Structure 1
Amino acid sequence: MSLKTSNLSFKDRVDHEVNNDIMRKAVIKAQETIGTNRQKMVDELGHWEEWRDLAKQIRNHVLQNIDAYLYQLSEKVTENGGHVYFAETAEQATEYIRKVALDKNAKKIVKSKSMVTEEIGLNHVLEQEGMQVIETDLGEYLLQVSGDKPSHIVVPAIHKDRHQIRKDLHEKLGYDGPETPEDITLFVRKKIRQDFLEADIGISGCNFAVAETGSVCLVTNEGNLRLATTVPKTHIAVMGMERLAPTFEEVDVLITMLARSAVGAKLTSYNTWLTGPRLEGETDGPEEFHLVIVDNGRSDIIASEFKEVLRCIRCGACLNTCPAYRQIGGHGYGSIYPGPIGSVISPLLGGYDEFKELPYACSLCTACNSVCPVKIPLAQLILKHREVMAQTGKTPAIERLSIFGFGLANSNPALWKIGVNVGAKVASKFIKNGKAPISIGALGEWTKARDLPQPDGESFRQWFKNREAK
């Protein structure tokens, strides 16, 4: 299992994305549009901070009692005729789903949009068995056709424009129509309608699971999920273990916050509630239902100082306001979880060796804190990652050596005085027109976009002493 979406280094990814004009224009437009609509919905709802406090309390309560609610949920799903599987790792989750698919002799599988299935690498596992896996969310489908990866939690194809999409569809599927969204959508709709009817299994994610009833709540805008979960004979829902709510009353609050924060709407187009397989006398729904509950490191997070990140309801509001995301897009992060939330959760799920740069893809402006509907202190958690990496030696050796040298000089007044006096004179000789003769590392990156101040050979202490004498 890997959360990685690119084998390029962080620097190479960033260099590529900051020069991707199409992506940057698309992201800027989306951030501005969603941000404006979100604010309208916030103002219309009223008492927004009180709603945020309530949502935070609900999510904290779930995390504090997660063992009890998971037990209640599993009992109710089983009572409703479904099957429950607890997967400690991504590999266990994909292996269970693989076995179910093989048992059903599945040839074609339709999927609705699901971040957790991206996280565990489900598609790859099933395709290795020769099964055809079809993403039915429009954005995910377009990315699957082009061989691309999602770049946003809610709007996966946010980095593409209609010209690129039309080109991909023409080259891969022979589409010859115009590039208007309506025509492209109609083409895709006709293309995958038969897939729904022929699919042996439908796979979905889970926005919230209701412990009291064993129900799965799914929030979509296209209606594709209802076809994926009701037409095939088998439905498999995959959920992160923290995506729980005690009752429908709490889900009502969370959905209210989710829709407004994600896309600036009162509600999404479709709010779907599924409770087990089809019962006798019912006309639609699957004959068999499986709920796969994925841990994949979440238990460790609950026991850590990063516990608050599991309050996340995957609205993407932090991405929609983040200035760093605006410049480098989702692919700059190299993880299926980009933006501020990705900078916190990717190192926790995937490890610092894979994602040590992400906590530094942030200016700590705290804009993400102010829009998070469940009040996750994302900026503080990002800073905590930096602290942990420094304490455990995960930062570059030259950085650790530099900090050690600075600390040594800063703790010795005589050494500090010599350093600033000599440094001022040396800098005045070497820095010319805002540039240094040696342009490597952080200094090189800094001077790409700005000039260094021109020293005059006098340290501040010398300047102050001379001024005082005059």
Structure 2
Amino acid sequence: MNAPQQGFKERADAALKNAVLKIAIDRTTGNAERKRAVAIAAFPEFQAARARGRAIKDHVIAHLDHYLEMFERNATAAGATVHWASDDAEARAIITRICLEADAKLVTRAKSMLGEEIGLPHALADAGIERVETDLAEHIIQLAGERPSHIVWPAMHRTREQVAILFKEAHHPPPAADDPATMVQSARRELRAKFLGADVGISGANFLVADTGATCTVTNEGNAELTTTPPRIHIVTAGIEKLVPSTAHAFALLRLLVRSATGGEMTQYTTFHCGPKRPGDADGPEEMHIVLVDNGRTRMLADEFRPMLRCIRCGACMNHCVVYRQIGGHAYGGTYPGPMGAVLTPVLDGLAQSRDLPHACTMNGRCAEVCPVEIPLPTLLRAWRTRSWRERLEPRSVRAALGLWAMAARRPWLYLLGSRIGVRALRLFGRRGWIGSLPLAGGWTAYRDMPRPSGRTFMEQYRAGQAGRAGQTGRETRK
């Protein structure tokens, strides 16, 4: 796991030096980008579906109290017990209490980023309860002792070759070969007894259906079904923003979620859980508990970060992010990486501890272009930058430099003079058309080269071009 004393810049620096990490990131995000493009091209209704998805989420957010009460009422009528957690500590306490009261020794867990957000893995360990991650990628990172690096592919930072080494060390017997099919069979063999022997199964929820009280999970492995069905107790953890009015609305969003996340039309398993086992049911848990977690979400309702509550956790923003694709997820330091993480982490951890994340964005806007529910991520990141400036969290050197720039920008003659001097001075550092190192800009040139400037400012080139076109026009007129 990342050392807690490291900041974003140190983690990013380490990631940029890791050549194997770059290979792993390129394999996964590149494949995801290509598959999404194909899926969207084959779905001509995508823009209309996108507009509907945004409208559904905005409607729920505007009437969140109404749908929360409706969901609790219907989930309770279906036999589930609904718990409310105002923050991560309360959520952990509720879940561990349920497990301890059930005398649970073994807990299986399906992938849930909310569980990571509230620190559930550590809470279960502190309570002396064995936790087994059942998602294949989560199984990998549990063996490696790491945190997820992506919200859809938690182990995307690991290459197949690295996974083979982990499995050979941890699986008994070890896999006979290191091809993907053999390693998957080895993981299934390892996990099968855990599935059947668990006392409690814990899952997240992609959607909470208000008019039925059901929870919805989507997976491609079937591990969520094996996590939630055999144990005596099923615990669902979900953020309060996961609500949708009805099953039809859930499917409208599923059309967006799956195409944006994996490039498919539908996941292999889409399951709705509505209460515990009933008389006559062949299987299912004896108890179902749903823990609804706020943890800063109601604060977002009242400020400029409200649109972030639309997020359906597809991961498309990070798959297309030029920063994430260079440094991976662990460099962000929080539960959620990439553009959506750069917005959410200051909410969860405080801006003072995470102000570097909004500043790491290049503002190219690609994340907003691919977001299936049209979250204006660059706008939200700029809002954090503005708040950081107003709260005087920027280093003095940055504030001083921007003050000098502002002084010059308000005096055009001074700005133009400085630009002329600057572009000509930069040429002194160029070699073969590129600048490999530059005083006071080591953070930039450490991992990339700058093109050597032509020696003239943009305005000088523009005026020369205009003069050339005027001369050409004059010659044509004389003809």
Q: TM-score, normalised by structure 1?
A: 0.91
CA distance in 1, matches of 2:158, 2:305: 33
Please state how far the C-alpha of 1:47 moved relative to its aligned partner: 1.9
Please state how far the C-alpha of 1:166 moved relative to its aligned partner: 1.0
CA RMSD of aligned residues (A): 2.8
Question: 2:2, 2:330 within 8 Å by CA — same for their partners in 1?
Answer: no
Determine the structure 2 residue equivalent to 1:245: 244
Q: 1:98 aligns with which of 89, 96, 99?
A: 96
Amino acid at match of 1:165: V
Please state how far the C-alpha of 1:97 moved relative to its aligned partner: 0.7
Determine the structure 1 residue equivalent to 2:125: 127
Q: Is residue 369 from structure 1 mapped to residue 368 from structure 2 by the alignment?
A: yes
Determine the structure 2 residue equivalent to 1:265: 264
CA distance in 2, matches of 1:118, 1:412: 50
Structure 1 pair 141/415, CA: closer, same or farther in 2 (3 Å)? same
Deviations 1:190-221 (A, max 9, x none): 11111111111000001001000000000011
Deviations 1:137-174 (A, max 9, x none): 00001100111211111011111111100111222335
Please state how far the C-alpha of 1:409 moved relative to its aligned partner: 3.6
Which one is further off, 55-64 or 45-54? Answer: 45-54
Q: Which runs of 5+ in 2 are unaligned?
A: 468-479
Which one is further off, 257-266 or 401-410? Answer: 401-410
CA distance in 2, matches of 1:54, 1:292: 28
Q: 1:53 aligns with which of 46, 51, 64?
A: 51
Structure 1 pair 454/236, CA: closer, same or farther in 2 (3 Å)? closer
Question: 2:424, 2:455 within 8 Å by CA — same for their partners in 1?
Answer: no
Determine the structure 2 residue equivalent to 1:312: 311
Structure 1 pair 417/176, CA: closer, same or farther in 2 (3 Å)? closer
Question: 2:426, 2:452 within 8 Å by CA — same for their partners in 1?
Answer: no
Amino acid at match of 2:195: F
Amino acid at match of 1:368: C
Please state how far the C-alpha of 1:411 moved relative to its aligned partner: 3.1
Amino acid at match of 2:267: T
Question: 1:424, 1:459 within 8 Å by CA — same for their partners in 2?
Answer: no
Structure 1 pair 459/59, CA: closer, same or farther in 2 (3 Å)? closer
Structure 1 pair 412/207, CA: closer, same or farther in 2 (3 Å)? same
Q: TM-score, normalised by structure 2?
A: 0.89
Determine the structure 1 residue equivalent to 2:154: 156
Deviations 1:44-88 (A, max 9, x none): 221211110000000000100000000000111111111111100
Structure 1 pair 119/450, CA: closer, same or farther in 2 (3 Å)? same
**Secondary structure in 1 matching 2:146:** coil
CA distance in 2, matches of 1:320, 1:385: 22
Please state how far the C-alpha of 1:395 moved relative to its aligned partner: 1.7
Q: Is residue 344 from structure 1 mapped to residue 343 from structure 2 by the alignment?
A: yes
Determine the structure 1 residue equivalent to 2:400: 401
Determine the structure 2 residue equivalent to 1:447: 445
Structure 1 pair 435/80, CA: closer, same or farther in 2 (3 Å)? closer
Structure 1 pair 402/77, CA: closer, same or farther in 2 (3 Å)? same
Structure 1 pair 27/447, CA: closer, same or farther in 2 (3 Å)? closer
CA distance in 2, matches of 1:77, 1:377: 33
Please state how far the C-alpha of 1:5 moved relative to its aligned partner: 7.8
CA distance in 1, matches of 2:427, 2:363: 34
Determine the structure 2 residue equivalent to 1:20: 18
Structure 1 pair 199/409, CA: closer, same or farther in 2 (3 Å)? same
Q: Which runs of 5+ in 1 are unaligned?
A: none
Question: 1:17, 1:328 within 8 Å by CA — same for their partners in 2?
Answer: yes
Structure 1 pair 460/206, CA: closer, same or farther in 2 (3 Å)? closer
CA distance in 2, matches of 1:276, 1:122: 23
CA distance in 1, matches of 2:64, 2:29: 34
Q: Is residue 141 from structure 1 mapped to residue 132 from structure 2 by the alignment?
A: no
Structure 1 pair 383/196, CA: closer, same or farther in 2 (3 Å)? same
Question: 2:110, 2:134 within 8 Å by CA — same for their partners in 1?
Answer: yes
Question: 1:5, 1:336 within 8 Å by CA — same for their partners in 2?
Answer: no
**Secondary structure in 1 matching 2:140:** helix
Question: 1:111, 1:135 within 8 Å by CA — same for their partners in 2?
Answer: yes
CA distance in 1, matches of 2:305, 2:48: 24
**Secondary structure in 2 matching 1:118:** helix
Structure 1 pair 454/148, CA: closer, same or farther in 2 (3 Å)? same
Q: 1:172 aligns with which of 166, 170, 173?
A: 170
**Secondary structure in 2 matching 1:8:** coil
Structure 1 pair 407/37, CA: closer, same or farther in 2 (3 Å)? closer
Amino acid at match of 1:405: L
Determine the structure 1 residue equivalent to 2:109: 111
**Secondary structure in 2 matching 1:123:** helix
Structure 1 pair 429/111, CA: closer, same or farther in 2 (3 Å)? closer
Deviations 1:419-468 (A, max 9, x none): 678x669958985868799834xx2223333358579899989xx99xx9
**% identical equivalent positions:** 36
Question: 1:202, 1:232 within 8 Å by CA — same for their partners in 2?
Answer: yes
CA distance in 1, matches of 2:105, 2:166: 25
CA distance in 2, matches of 1:263, 1:304: 32
